[in-house]
């Protein structure tokens, strides 16, 4: 798996921030919408979104849920805060924090969402350990991410593989190594669209 450092995540997303919604919004929208819809069916009281970015999904979560969003990159988070200020009726807390070292007590959330972050964070295993700790036992973890495996995307994955540290995500991210190897329960795993770029994975914690 390609190496990505913490500094490069902050530097890269700091650069992307002003253009992020325009560049990535359209290709990631279906995944965000489906993820929020799954969260709606789970009806959690407390939701944590790790790597909340510019807050593209925050307005889509169920209204009754108290939402906490964290991100490593101050510029991305500043944009999420602007978005949240347009939703004054919602309970939304946003904080600068590393998802690999979360400042929350064990079992603080009923549901943790991880949209387009697992292959970005420097150490995905540490992130998984942390989200499992702060998600209550029996709670849900919802991941949207690109995983290698599709023949259609393989040539592109090869081309950008060595650039992971500069482009801010790994293209060579394996489903078995990063999802199936953990002793959690995968409830469903589906592509978010026919182009098979991203998967939506719904997991029960424990
Ligand atoms: C591809 S963007 C996704 C943003 C948002 N989830 C969305 O769906 O638009 C990845 C985000 O994850 C954040 N990130 C990466 N590693 C992180 C970590 N260890 N802790 C917190 N945020 C992290 C980046 O700063 C960036 O904002």
CATH label of the domain that carries residue 120 = 3.40.50.150
From the CA of 144, give the closest atom in ligand 1.
8
Q: What is the pTM of this model?
A: 0.93
Cα torsion 147, 153, 154, 158 to 10°: value is -90
State yes or no: pLDDT of 73 exceeds 90. Answer: yes
Task: Label residue 19 by pLDDT band (50, 70, 90).
Answer: very high
Cα distances from 176 to residues 139, 147, 179, 195, in angstroms, run 22, 9, 6, 20
pLDDT in tens, 106-164: 999 999 999 999 999 999 999 999 999 999 999 999 999 999 876 666 767 666 665 65
Of all atoms in ligand 1, which is nearest to the CA of residue 77? 27
Mean pLDDT, residues 8-26: 94
DSSP code at position 177: I
Q: How far apart are CA 45 and CA 195, in angstroms?
A: 33
- Within a domain: 193: yes
Residue 24, domain member (yes or no): yes
Number of domains forming the structure of the chain:
1
Ligand 1: which residues within 6 Å by Cβ? Answer: 9, 13, 28, 32, 50-53, 56-57, 70-73, 76, 98-100, 115-117, 120-121, 127
Q: Which residue has the tokens 């592109």?
A: 156
pLDDT band at 2 (very low <50, low <70, confident <90, very high): low
Reduced to 3 states (helix: H, G, I; strand: E, B; else coil), residue 51 is coil
Nearest CA to ligand 1 atom 10: 117
- Per the domain annotation, does 73 fall within a domain? yes
pLDDT in tens, 192-206: 988 788 999 999 998
Structural domain containing residue 102? 6-204
For residue 1, is it within any domain? no
Residue to probe by mutation, ligand 1, list 24, 27, 28, 51, most atoms within 8 Å of CB: 51
């Amino acid at each position: 798996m390609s190496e990505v450092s913490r500094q490069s995540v902050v530097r890269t997303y700091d650069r992307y921030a002003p253009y992020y919604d325009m560049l990535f919004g359209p290709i990631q929208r279906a995944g965000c919408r489906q993820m929020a819809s799954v969260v709606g069916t789970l009806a959690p009281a407390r939701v944590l979104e790790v790597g909340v970015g510019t807050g593209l999904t925050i307005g889509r979560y169920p209204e009754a849920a108290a939402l906490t969003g964290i991100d490593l990159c101050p510029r991305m988070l500043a944009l999420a805060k602007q978005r949240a200020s347009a939703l004054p009726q919602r309970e939304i807390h946003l904080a600068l924090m590393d998802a690999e070292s979360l400042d929350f007590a064990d079992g603080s959330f009923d549901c943790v969402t991880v949209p387009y972050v697992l292959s970005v964070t420097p150490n995905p295993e540490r992130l998984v350990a942390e989200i499992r700790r702060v998600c209550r036992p029996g709670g849900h973890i919802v991941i949207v991410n690109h995983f290698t495996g599709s023949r259609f995307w393989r040539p592109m994955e090869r081309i950008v593989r060595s650039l992971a540290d500069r482009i801010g995500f790994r293209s060579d991210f394996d489903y078995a190594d990063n999802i199936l190897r953990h002793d959690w329960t995968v409830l469903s795993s589906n592509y978010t669209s026919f182009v098979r770029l991203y998967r939506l994975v719904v997991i029960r914690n424990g």
